[in-house]
Chain A
Amino acid sequence: MRQQEFENLYQAKWLAFKEQCELLEKREPLSSEIDFSANYREVCHNLALAQQRGFSPGLVASLEKLAARGHQQLYKNRQSIFGRIIRFITQGFPRLIRQNASLFWLCTAICYLPAFIVFLIIWADPDMAYSFLGTDTASNLESMYNPSHERITENRDIDSDFQMFGFYLWNNISVDLRTFAGGMVAGIGSLFILLLNAVLLGAASGHMLNMGYEDTFFTFVIAHGAPELTGMVVSAMAGLKIGWGMIAPGNYSRKDALLIRSKEGVRLLFGAVFLTALAAPIEAFWSSIGTIEPNVKYTVGAICWVLVFAYLFLAGRKGVQDGSE
């Protein structure tokens, strides 16, 4: 068949298919008699023929373009994002954590062990606090959590609470995202940020204890610490996932390993972001209230920890599917 004949034969179909693509691109439904995938397949056949028979470059190019448009429409992911997010949070994420339980515990250890060691060191030798924290941070902390500080004894204005809410959200989630991105440097970046935070946490707690400000400090930290620290640990997990993909790609090429790992990693990261976002309102609106009895705050804090871990280890045990893919 010559090109002209070929064109005459199929031109109408191509035009129709193009219109179908246009409709789909505008997210409008196709009229129901149309068999889009069959039409698409036909265009593919036509393209293959045109290429093989050496029809003019103009024709081949326009068919290529047509096939590409059809390809985009046929293989579009039509799952709704909102539904997937909710299902991921209620089921997928806790499951993911359980699937990666050993990595989770490893990261938890990487976070809390150094923190504890630093805490002990500073507890034993209060002066070490200044070398861990630096003089500026240390004195900052001191003034922040001094029980006689007016902000501890008075409640903060609601609007500054809100301001801090914005700040926590922005800052903490950004840290999560960076921790994840740090995984690209063979995981070292993630580890580094996690360790840095761990040391700061340990040092700050040790220092506060030494100063005798423990109540003001721990009442502030305990409740939101549960989701926030866990979120940090999880984001480090996500970073290590891709870092590990680069170090030990296994049977895959490094490139493929990176791809596969980062797919898992980003799902962990979504979870981490969720946890951190959860922490922000608690930190801004609850932790900042200075007038509540420490006992109440400790109780609430403990409940938060229990809830977070219960969520991670119990949620989504039933149910069929994990919609996070």
Chain B
Amino acid sequence: MNESNDQEISPATEPKPSPFQVCHNKIQAIRSQIKKAVIGQDNVVDLALVSLLASGHLLIEGVPGLGKTLLVKSIAKAISGDFARIQFTPDLMPSDVTGHAFFDQNDSSFKIRKGPAFTNLLLADEINRAPAKTQASLLEVMQEQQITIEGTPHIIDKPFMVLATQNPLEQEGTYALPEAELDRFLLNATIEYPDASSEEAIVKMITEGHVGDSFATEQIEAVASTKDILAMQKVATKISVDDSLYSYAVRLVQASRQWPGIRAGAGPRATIALIRCAKALVLLRGGNFVTPDDIKQIATPVLRHRISLSAELEIEGVKVTNVIHDILEQVEAPRG
């Protein structure tokens, strides 16, 4: 999924700056800041921004070491938000995620030590390496947007977004997330090796004396605030959607349930996710209405982790993406 020629063809927006236009400008500014540091991963950057605008969580799959931390750091800096990273390990405890209460000797009272989950952007690295218990605590935070420590609920500051990575290569010692829980993630991005030119740029940047992430993030300016993000999230919901597109989204998701070769299709939350993400995508691209193309584009990352294939297709080595591609090709798009 990459930028299509949507932008060139999409109609010029009205002359006076609409709230959509303002948001678009802002988000583009954020995007270009991030791209200063994160090179050659436009796809993932876009998906992360979409997920941020749609106030959802992002599940990233891909080989380790492709700058996921950098991505999260950059976003956090660009939106002047907090950032935390948790490396999930087999011995990670739920309280390492959420925090815990402890007894303070000085004034002999219980104090709360807030865990890394109290942040705006949380990078949960290799979640499938932690035992189910710790995963469950993270998933709960994601769902409830609040953390209960010693019976007292603590609300997490918004915006709150989790970027979780899964490790596909390592099977030994991983705990697969229960299928029902994968639904918690709005989008599923795959991170891939950068293409040759981007790699060149990265190498250049690093060899010109700037070693490590610090330089990369240093040059990012905070062009927005967390409040802006909340405002933009609100604006994103106001993007107009034609009725025919709702039924298109429903058709797509329903097709995923009846498609031959799919064992478990996506649930109705997928439909909601499709629309929400398409709206956010439009905002990112700079439009003020959703077109079928937006839905089509966002469908793969929205559906990929919500679909599982039947045994036959698994044996044949068919990928979920291929099947989604088929669905997109064959489910009637709204026209005329």
Kindly identify which residue among A38, A41, A78, A320 contacts B179, using a CB–CB cutoff of 8 Å: A78
B315 & A82 in contact (Cβ 8 Å cutoff): yes
Residues of B within 8 A of A83 (CB): 311-312, 314-315
Find the B residue at minimum CB distance from A325: B171
Interface size, A (range): 20 to 34
* B168, A87: Cβ atoms closer than 8 Å: no
State the CA gap A80–B174 with chains docked (Å): 18
**Given known contacts A37-B178, A37-B180, A75-B178, A80 and B314 CB-to-CB distance under 8 angstroms:** yes
Using A32-B268, A80-B314 as known contacts, say yes or no to A320 and B168 having CB atoms under 8 A apart.
Answer: yes
Question: B residues within 8 A CB of A29?
Answer: 264
B310 within 8 A of partner (CB): yes
Give residues of chain B (265-309) contacting chain A, Cβ–Cβ below 8 Å. 267-269, 308
Q: Mark B250-268, 1 if CB is under 8 A from A, else 0.
A: 0000000100000110011
| B315 adjacent to A86 (CB under 8 Å) | yes
- Cβ B171 vs Cβ A321 within 8 A: yes
Interface size class of B (residues with CB under 8 A): 20 to 34
A residues in contact with B267, CB < 8 Å: 32
Q: How far is the CA of A319 from the CA of B315 in the complex (A)?
A: 12
Closest beta carbon of chain A to B21's beta carbon, Å: 37
Query: A142 an interface residue at 8 Å Cβ cutoff?
Result: no
Is the CB of A157 closer than 8 A to any CB of chain B?
Answer: no
Q: Is A321 a contact partner of B168 (Cβ separation < 8 A)?
A: yes
Please tell me which one of the listed residues A75, A80, A319, A324 contacts residue B310 in the complex, with CB atoms under 8 A apart: A80
A120 to chain B, nearest CB (A): 41
Q: When chains A and B are docked, how far (Å) is the Cα of A32 from the Cα of B183?
A: 12
- A7: chain B residues within 8 A (beta carbon): none
Consensus secondary structure, chain A interface: loop
Q: Is A298 positioned at the interface, with any CB of B under 8 Å from its CB?
A: no
Quick one: given A74-B180, A78-B308, A80-B314, are A41 and B171 in contact (CB under 8 Å)?
no
Give B268's nearest chain A residue, CB to CB. A32
Closest residue on chain A to residue B182 by CB atoms: A37
C-alpha spacing A74/B183, complex, angstroms: 13
Chain A residues, Cβ within 8 Å of B178: 37, 74-75
Q: Does B9 contact A (CB under 8 A)?
A: no
Question: Would you list which residues of chain B between 104 and 138 have a CB under 8 Å from chain A?
Answer: 132
B181 proximal to A (CB < 8 A): yes
Considering only CB atoms, which chain A residue lies closest to B271 in the complex? A32
- Tell me if B18 counts as interface (CB < 8 A to partner A): no
Write out the residue numbers on chain B whose beta carbons fall within 8 Å of the beta carbon of A28: none
Determine whether the beta carbon of B172 is less than 8 Å from that of A325: yes
* Chain A nearest CB, measured from B61 CB (Å): 11
Query: In the assembly, what is the distance between CA of A33 and CA of B271, in Å?
Result: 11
A80 and B311 contacting across the interface, CB-CB below 8 Å: yes
**Chain A 81-114 interface 0/1 with B at a Cβ cutoff of 8 Å (1 = within):** 1110011000000000000000000000000000
Q: CB-CB < 8 A to B12: which residues of A? A: none
| Per-residue contact bits, chain A 218-242, to B (CB 8 Å; 1 contact, 0 not) | 0000000000000000000000000
Contacts of B132 in A (CB 8 A): 75
Q: In the complex, what residues of A have CB within 8 A of residue B172's CB?
A: 325
User: Could you list some 11 contacts between A and B, CB below 8 A?
Assistant: A29-B264, A35-B269, A37-B178, A37-B183, A74-B180, A75-B132, A78-B263, A80-B311, A80-B314, A82-B311, A319-B317
Give 10 closest A-B pairs by Cβ, nearest first: A83-B314, A80-B311, A83-B311, A37-B180, A82-B311, A86-B315, A325-B171, A32-B268, A32-B267, A83-B315
Residues of A bordering B, CB below 8 Å: 29, 32-33, 35-38, 41, 74-75, 78, 80-83, 86-87, 319-325
- Mark B residues whose CB is within 8 Å of A: 132, 139-140, 143, 168-169, 171-172, 174, 178-181, 183, 257, 263-264, 267-269, 308, 310-312, 314-315, 317
